[in-house]
Amino acid sequence: MEYYPLKDISAEQYWKLKVTNGRLHLEENTEAESDPNPIINDKDGTTWQLLVDSGRLALADTVPQPDTQFYLRDPAGNTWRVIADHGVIGIEKGHGKAQPVLKLSHHPLDVRSDGWVDLSGFGNHGTPYGGVRPVMICPGVIGYRFDGKSGYIKVLDNAGLSATGAVTVQFWIYPNRFQVLKPVGKTITYEFWMNENKFYFGVYEDDATYHGSGYSVAAISPGTWGCVTGVYNPDLVGGNVQIWIGDVKENEGDYTGGVNNSVNSLNIGGNVSTWQEVWFDGVIAQPVVENRAWSPDEVRENHYRSLMYRMLRGLPKSFVYVKVPYNHQVNRLSLI
C-alpha cells in the first residue's frame, strides 16, 4: 500500500502514514478514513498497536500475536516493513518490490467478523460465502472448513495479486474425499488443479494459453494434511513452472513469458465462474501469495517453519469450531 489511513485517538483528525526518502512520517488526510490500528511485533518479543496520538505516532501495548507484518511502499516503488525495536518505531527495507501480497491470518486473535484478514499489509482481505466455517486446528492455527456444497472465500482483485511476472502460492490442505476442482486460483492468471488429490499448478499467458507444471507424483490422501506450493520463475531456464508437495518438487514445466493480468478475484475453496461451480470438501489453512519466485531452499524453509508443520508432530484428534457473529448475508464468518 502507498499509505495507511489512521485516525488520531485524541482529536477528530485523520492521517496518512507514509514512507518517503527512507523515512516514516504522517501526512494530513482530508478523507475521513481509517483502518484498524495495525499490530507490529517488537524485536524484543513484545507486541504493539500502532496509532496516532495528538498528531504523533505512538505505540500502545497489546496482546502478543505471532507473525504480524505491516508493509508500506514509497514513491519509488520500494517496499518497507514497519517495525518496533525495543519500543521505538522504525522501518526496514524489504525485498525491493517483491513482498507477500497475500498472507491470510493463521492466529485466533486475528479472527474478525466477516473477513479473513490479510497480514501482508496489502489489504487483500478475504470474504467467506456459503458453507464455510472457521476451525481451530490447534492453538495458534485457524483455518476454514469448506462443506463441498457452497462454501468458498473470495479475495477481490488488485494489482498486487495479478503478479504478472514471477509468483509463488502456498497453502495447507486437508481433503475429506477424492476430488476434482481448483482449490485455490485466480482465473486466467494462476491456479491449482486438484485431480483425485494430485495437484497441478499453472499460469496463463493470455485468456486462453495455459502453461502448467504437470501433475504431482504424490497425492494428499483424504483425512491427511499436506502443504502445496506452486512457483513460477520466468528467469529460470527450464522447469520454471513448479509444483511442490511438502519439501519435494513433484513436477515442472517450461514457460518464460508474462502472466495474464485478469480482473478476476482470487478464490479459495473451489471453482467460481459462469461456466463451472465446484466446491471443495475439507479444510484449507495458511494460504500465501508472493509476487516473486521462491527458491527451492525457501520453499523448504517456509514449509518447515510453518506452524502447521510443527503442529503435525502432534496432530490433534479433532477440530474445534470457533464461534463468530453472523452479521450479514449468506452465513458470513471470519478468517483463518
Domain assignment present for residue 197? The answer is yes
Residue 275 neighbours by CB under 8 Å, 6+ apart: none
124 within domain boundaries: yes
CATH number of residue 136's parent domain: 2.60.120.200
Domain, as residue range, for 196: 100-321
Can you list the pairs that 175-180 forms with residues at least 24 positions away whose Cβ atoms lie under 8 Å? Answer: 175/220, 175/221, 175/222, 175/223, 175/280, 175/281, 175/282, 176/148, 176/222, 176/223, 176/281, 176/282, 177/148, 177/222, 177/281, 177/282, 178/222, 179/148, 179/280, 179/281, 179/282, 180/278
The reported pLDDT for the residue numbered 321 is 40
Q: Are residues 129 and 203 in the same domain?
A: yes
Q: Is residue 334 part of a domain?
A: no
Residues 52 and 143 in one domain: no
Provide the pLDDT for residue 283: 95
Whole-angstrom distance, CA of residue 53 vs CA of residue 132: 39
Does residue 115 share a domain with residue 63? no
317's CB contacts (< 8 A; 6+ apart) are none
- Shared domain for 83 and 115, answered yes or no, is no
Is residue 148 domain-shared with residue 291, that is, in the same domain? yes
Backbone dihedral angles phi then psi of residue 72, each to the nearest 5 degrees: -135, 150
Q: Where a domain ends, among 62, 93, 124?
A: 93
pLDDT of amino acid 331: 23
pLDDT of residue 69: 64
**Position 274 in a domain:** yes
What pTM did the predictor assign?
0.65
Looking at the fold, whether 87 and 105 belong to one and the same domain comes out as no
Query: Are the C-beta atoms of residues 14 and 29 closer than 8 Å to each other?
Result: yes
Residue 61: other Cβ atoms inside 10 A? 10
Asked whether residue 77 is assigned to any structural domain, the reply reads: yes
pLDDT the model gives residue 209: 93
Tell me if 326 is assigned to some domain: no
One digit per residue, the tens of pLDDT, for the chain of length 336 reads 688 889 999 888 999 998 887 788 899 998 888 888 888 877 777 888 888 988 888 888 887 765 566 777 788 777 777 878 777 887 877 544 334 455 555 444 444 445 566 666 566 777 888 898 888 887 667 788 999 999 998 888 876 677 778 899 999 999 999 999 999 999 899 999 999 999 999 999 998 899 999 999 999 999 999 999 999 998 888 889 999 999 999 999 999 888 888 888 889 998 876 556 789 999 998 888 887 888 898 898 888 888 788 778 765 444 444 433 333 222 222 233
79 lies in the same domain as 172: no
335 within a domain of the structure (yes/no): no
Q: How far apart (Å, rounded) are the C-alpha atoms in residues 135 and 228?
A: 20
Judge if 215 and 124 occupy the same domain.
Answer: yes
Q: Say whether both 83 and 118 belong to one domain.
A: no
239 shares its domain with 297 = yes
Last residue of some domain: 93, 126, 159?
93
Q: What is the pLDDT of residue 175?
A: 96
Last residue of a domain, one of 93, 120, 151: 93
* 147 and 82 in a common domain: no
> What was the pLDDT predicted at 105?
52
Q: What one-letter code names the amino acid at 117?
A: V
Instruction: Mark whether 269 and 298 lie in a shared domain.
Output: yes
Is position 17 within any domain?
Answer: yes
Q: Which residues contact 246 (CB under 8 A, 6 or more apart)?
A: 218, 226, 227, 303
Q: Quote the number of domains for the chain.
A: 2
